[in-house]
Homo-oligomer: A and B are copies of this chain.
Amino acid sequence: MTNIHIASATAPVNIATLKYWGKRDKVLNLPTNSSISVTLSQTDLRTLTSAATSPTFTSNKLWLNGEEHPFNDARSVQVLTHLKELRKKLELENPALPKFSEWYLHIVSENNFPTAAGLASSAAGLAALVVSIAKLYQLPQSYSELSVIARMGSGSACRSLFGGYVAWEMGQLQDGSDSKAVEIAPMEHWPQMKALILVVSADKKDTPSTSGMQLTVQTSELFKQRVDVVVPKRFKEMTQSILDKNFAKFAELTMKDSNSFHATCLDSFPPIFYMNDTSKKIIKLCHHINTYYNETIVAYTFDAGPNAVLYYLQKNETKLFNIIYKLFEKLPGWKSDRANYKQFLDQYTKLDKSVLNILDNFNDIYKGCSRVIDTQVGPGPQSTNECLINKENGLPK
């Protein structure tokens, strides 16, 4: 085979600081509220996707992390249909273009982080899928326009179309064409933002987020207050805190919104629990740390699972890690090239007795966790020459 066209791209994970929870349209993934996220560094967390098309392919095929998966679910079909429509327009305008819109696709996708980490990888995956195909199809659409398509595949995926600080504007239109991601500020605006993910061991599978959010919309009597009153106000305040680089405000809103989201889950019927006792200990620890330093230096946030994501500024890393690294040093995932971790242990012994006493209460907190991911704010999707598809046969390398 020679007539194989391939394009590759990477896309990042994003972690919401103002949570998306609730769909007003299930098919189009239209949310009940706008949300905000921080895009994380692709050095630590990214999906790499290669998309190939050829008149010789006999069906759409998908390989994820080395295994072939079905590629005919409604969400994928919807995404591919929209991308092919955009390609079709180009082909109609320029008949010299090859008829990619009529050919099948082969998609090969790999994450650079362990699936076992339990991190929602669908956002990065859908974003990389859309960007790699858009690149293959040479689509002229902006990333905000492409985010509308990624959103149909997985709601929060739309936010992975940008780096830095990202808003997903819920939009008003019935067709969802105004429900898209926009950049609040690029990574370079506030590059000091760091993230430490504490992967918490879970007994068993959580309620899937799609069915969970439907249950909340249908049964929580506090939910309407959240989406109608609480989140719209918080959206403005959080956007401003990012523009102002006001970490204390950003952190407070992030923590409050995580709690508010989990409160509406608990108010669902039957109630939904994503956080466990270890998650709660991490919350208490963060409040102890902020109280001890008499300054908000760390924020926690929890998605639809027990894992904690801590946000903090580079300038406060020593203050935070004096405590956090001491408590979690036994976990895997700390970066081998960060020889300076040891400094935090030296500092620890110099802390007040008052905080040492408090933190003794948390000395077994690491036992409820399986690993850490030490990362930071990062850029949006990247084009790459790395390729996962064999040019000769269109199959995974």
Q: Interface on A for B, CB 8 Å cutoff?
A: 220-222, 224-226, 229-230, 252, 255-256, 259-260, 262-264, 266-271, 273, 276-277, 280, 283-284, 287
Secondary structure at the A interface, as helix, strand, loop or mixed, is helix
Given contacts A222-B263, A260-B221, A264-B263, contact A255 B230 (CB under 8 A): no
Find chain B residues with CB under 8 A from A255 CB.
269
A269 touches B259 (CB 8 A): yes
Question: What is the minimal beta-carbon distance from A305 to any residue of chain B, in angstroms?
Answer: 14
B271 touches A266 (CB 8 A): no
Of B266, B277, B284, which contacts A277 at CB under 8 A?
B277
Question: What is the minimal beta-carbon distance from A191 to any residue of chain B, in angstroms?
Answer: 28
Of B230, B252, B267, B287, which contacts A263 at CB under 8 A?
B267
Find chain B residues with CB under 8 A from A224 CB.
225
Q: How far is the CA of A252 from the CA of B284 in the complex (A)?
A: 31
Of B225, B230, B256, B280, which contacts A269 at CB under 8 A?
B256
Please indicate which of the listed interface residues A252, A259, A284 has the most CB atoms of chain B within 10 Å of its own CB: A259
Find chain B residues with CB under 8 A from A256 CB.
221, 267, 269
Question: What is the minimal beta-carbon distance from A162 to any residue of chain B, in angstroms?
Answer: 28
Find chain B residues with CB under 8 A from A226 CB.
221-222
Q: How far is the CA of A220 from the CA of B270 in the complex (A)?
A: 22
Find chain B residues with CB under 8 A from A271 CB.
259, 283
Q: How far is the CA of A263 from the CA of B264 in the complex (A)?
A: 7
B269 touches A262 (CB 8 A): no
Q: List 29 A-B contacts (CB under 8 A).
A: A221-B225, A221-B226, A221-B229, A221-B230, A221-B256, A221-B260, A222-B222, A222-B225, A222-B226, A222-B230, A222-B260, A222-B264, A222-B267, A224-B225, A225-B225, A252-B269, A255-B269, A256-B267, A256-B269, A259-B269, A259-B271, A262-B266, A263-B263, A263-B264, A263-B266, A270-B283, A273-B280, A276-B277, A277-B277
